[in-house]
Chains A and B, each alone.
Chain A
Amino acid sequence: MIDILHRNNVKVSGQGVIPMLFAHGFGCDQSMWRLMTPAFEQEYKIVLFDHVGFGQSDLKAFVPGKYNSLQAYADDMLEICEELDLREVIFVGHSVSAMIGVLAAIKEPDWFQKLILIGPSPRYINDENYVGGFNAEDIEGLIDFLDSNYLGWSSVMAPVIMANPERPELGQELTNSFCRTNPEIAKNFARLTFLSDNRSDLPKVHTPSLVLQCAEDVIAPATVGEYVHEQLPNSKLIFMKATGHCPNLSHPEETIAAIKNFL
């Protein structure tokens, strides 16, 4: 029997009953939610996890051949829901995990009550009559980039221990690593993410959804957010003031307010 909670480094907290499941995107781990979760701890049960290959997930669980589609990551997430017996889940997914949440909600529609999609994109590469923001060579550029940072990664992404005199409350967490990734797994995930095309999945979702679209987001431009909103039958779109691709980190208050409003 696989220990799913260990595999995905699952962390449960909060005083509420209704579960909020937070899924991190490409490039980070569950620590990217740390500015958001305190706002929901009183009312909800907070479930955090790391995708296999990221953060403190069990690297041994990365079986070659298993993780060759985003569906595999969606299935991992459903296994977490099953293990913790989560129902009526409020799903919060960032970046590629927004799409992973969509895939999970299609497979088990009854388990999810709401989907909150931060910076989602069903396809990153431009296509006929579709602007994803990238062309195929750009993605090769990213893979090259990841290759050239291969040596750097071992030091940059490795555990960092530091004190933080200005914000002692963060000290504890800072002794852990942030966004630790295995370079090979990250490259695989990059390919899966940026070569995925989940446009045809969007109309299959009937769960009420919120799309949060940032300004000046290189990874998921505004046109993509609009497209997702058009294709998702039961969705609401909010354009945020926040710039960049990680409003949960750069503009947590605005992000929290938008989510609370929706809930």
Chain B
Amino acid sequence: MMSRVDYKEYILESAEDLYENAPCGYVSFLPDGTIVKINKTLLNWLGYSRKEVISKKKFIDFLAIGGKIFYETHFTPLLKLQGFANEINFDLLPKENAPVPVLANTVQLRNENGEPQMNRVTLFNITDRKKYEQELLLAKKKAEEATKVKADFISTLSHEIRTPMNAIVGITDILLNTGPTPAQLEYLNILKFSSESLLNLINDILDLSKMEAGQATLNPHIFNLRELVNSILYSFTVKAEEKNILLEVFIDEQIPAYINADEVKIGQVLTNLLGNAIKFTDQGAVKVSLDLLGYEKDAVNIHFRIKDTGIGIPEDKLTLIFEEFAQATADTEQQFGGTGLGLTITKRILNLFNSKIDVQSEPGRGTTFSFDLKLKIGKATTSRSGINQNSAMAAGLLKGIKLLLVEDNSINIQVTEKYLKDWGVTYEVARNGLQAISKINQTDFDLILMDLQMPVMDGYEATRWIRNLPEPKYRQLPIIALSASAKSDIDQKIKECGLTDFVNKPFKPEELHHKIALYGRKK
């Protein structure tokens, strides 16, 4: 049996022992910083003897310079104002070894007048934790970089593929106009279909990789919603007629015509859903409807619905169809084609609008996709509503326009020349920016078509040169960029160097025709 006296001593000793050998550091210092008490654990971390520290060192003496500044500017005021300061990360400087990162919890002890008497600090050694923290940060940084590298790679690759695709699509169109034999016509149609599918796939992948990298943003501008819906519908009429299915549209009359939103992305969603509906429907009808849900200050809520009477989707596949490269059944692709990216992209685009897609389906009876969009109402602007395609391509409209084509790729030159000749445009060709500059010194052109990536001198550089020529007319000369890069990627650069407008490669003949007419004919 232990006597009572022994027992007490034992407690006292153990309290002392607990203080000295605790797994954390203890230090007490006066308001002026002078250390008056310190435990063994902390002395061991610091490599000092008690004699060297007590009354001789201040707490701030153990801090590196950054910590000193923080101590004076943040820690001391906080302690004084609040009476405590927790979880402050300091690096303590030991006599010899590397700095010891610690978390400091400090309490300020005050007398009855509220005057600070002592600061008591508990220090946790966070050397290991700090290591993990740094590894985590490093891993996070690496993961973010990897995602970016992947997105960049896909983006670059897609651009590289798009350029030769320009040639394939263009040449196929030309060949189709050369009076092919029936067999050749069939092959050419397959070639046209395949190359267009491939181009769609590349565009889809590019879109998706952008959205994954978080680079996709909404670019709102004012447009006519009715025109957009009708023109998309119109583009599907041929297919619908081929399959002998009815194409219907209903737009609530109270929905305002002009909307301020991202027209391209809304168009993409509608095109994807409508394309699917027609693809998977063999008889009956596809109906697009826009119902007004209500007004909200300067915005309007619209319910979009695309309803078909097609093959439908089994219930257990309803979530699967939104996954990348997934289709309802394994043989869907063989039967119907497609990449399996359309709905993934649609879903992600709607995410950008803070909206969700809903799907209802019954196998054999049809499918309905729907979603709600809250869209800002736009004021009607002077109609920039485009191209009446039939009249725009009218022969002779471009006759006499003097054009300079700046392009290094021979196939691209051939394709573009074909159209220019058809349209009666007078043109010359320069193979790079430098040649272009010497050409415009000899001839007065109405318009320049400028490829951007070229050897010797690229399109940006050449445009900057031309804009800086002394004669004022060169400031006005329309220069249209031709590029396989997505416009949004190079928008900034285009503006900076003074390019007038932009046409994507592979170009749609109507678009190029329209742009040449728009800029070249103003005399």
Task: List chain A positions with a Cβ less than 8 A from chain B.
Answer: 25-28, 31-32, 34, 95, 134, 138, 140-146, 148-149, 152, 155-156, 160, 162, 164, 166-167, 174, 178-179, 194, 217-219, 243-246, 249-250
Contacts and interface: CB of A to CB of B under 8 A. Distances in A.
Given A156-B78, A244-B33, 8 more contacts: A26-B73, A144-B66, A145-B91, A149-B89, A178-B77, A178-B78, A217-B72, A243-B32
Interface centre among A31, A143, A145 (most CB of B within 10 A): A145
Nearest to A144: B66
A230 to B, nearest CB: 24
Given A26-B73, A219-B69, A246-B77, A148 B110 contact: no
Nearest to B74: A27
Given A155-B86, A174-B82, A179 B70 contact: no
Contact of B83 (A134, A142, A164, A246): A164
B80 interface: yes
A141 B66 CA distance: 5
B337 interface: no
A245 B76 contact: yes
Given A31-B81, A145-B70, A179-B81, A134 B65 contact: yes
A218 B60 contact: yes
Nearest to A216: B32
Contact of A149 (B68, B80, B88): B88
A245 B72 contact: yes
Nearest to B31: A250
8 residue pairs, one from A and one from B, having the closest CB atoms: A27-B73, A145-B66, A141-B66, A142-B66, A27-B74, A138-B65, A245-B72, A178-B81
B267 interface: no
Contacts of A217: 72
Contact of A28 (B33, B74, B86, B101): B74
15 contacts: A27-B77, A28-B74, A31-B81, A141-B64, A145-B66, A152-B87, A152-B88, A160-B82, A166-B110, A243-B32, A244-B32, A244-B33, A245-B72, A249-B76, A249-B81
Contacts of A160: 82
A146 B67 CA distance: 9
Interface string B75-101: 011101111011111010000000001
A243 B32 CA distance: 7
B182 interface: no
Contacts of B70: 27, 142, 145-146, 149
Nearest to A124: B69
Contacts of B77: 27-28, 32, 178-179, 246, 249
A25 B81 CA distance: 15
Interface of B: 31-33, 60, 64-70, 72-74, 76-78, 80-83, 85-89, 91, 101, 103, 110, 112, 114
Nearest to B101: A148
B68 A218 contact: yes
A148 B130 CA distance: 9
A27 B67 CA distance: 13
B89 A148 contact: yes
A107 to B, nearest CB: 26
Contacts of A148: 89, 91, 101
Nearest to B112: A166
Contacts of A141: 64-67
Contact of B86 (A26, A138, A156): A156
Contacts of B81: 31-32, 34, 178-179, 249
A244 B73 CA distance: 10
Contacts of B68: 218
B110 to A, nearest CB: 7
B30 to A, nearest CB: 11
A38 B77 CA distance: 18
Nearest to A27: B73
Contacts of A245: 72-73, 76
A152 B106 CA distance: 14
Contacts of A134: 65
Nearest to A169: B114
Nearest to B63: A145
Nearest to B65: A138
B523 to A, nearest CB: 44
A246 B72 CA distance: 8
A156 B383 CA distance: 57
A246 B80 contact: yes
Contacts of B69: 138, 142, 145, 194, 218-219
B67 A250 contact: no
A207 B108 CA distance: 39
A219 B77 CA distance: 14
A249 B72 CA distance: 12
A179 B78 contact: yes
Residue with the greatest number of chain B CB neighbours at <10 A, chosen from A31, A179, A243? A179
Contact of A249 (B74, B80, B88): B80
A155 B74 contact: no
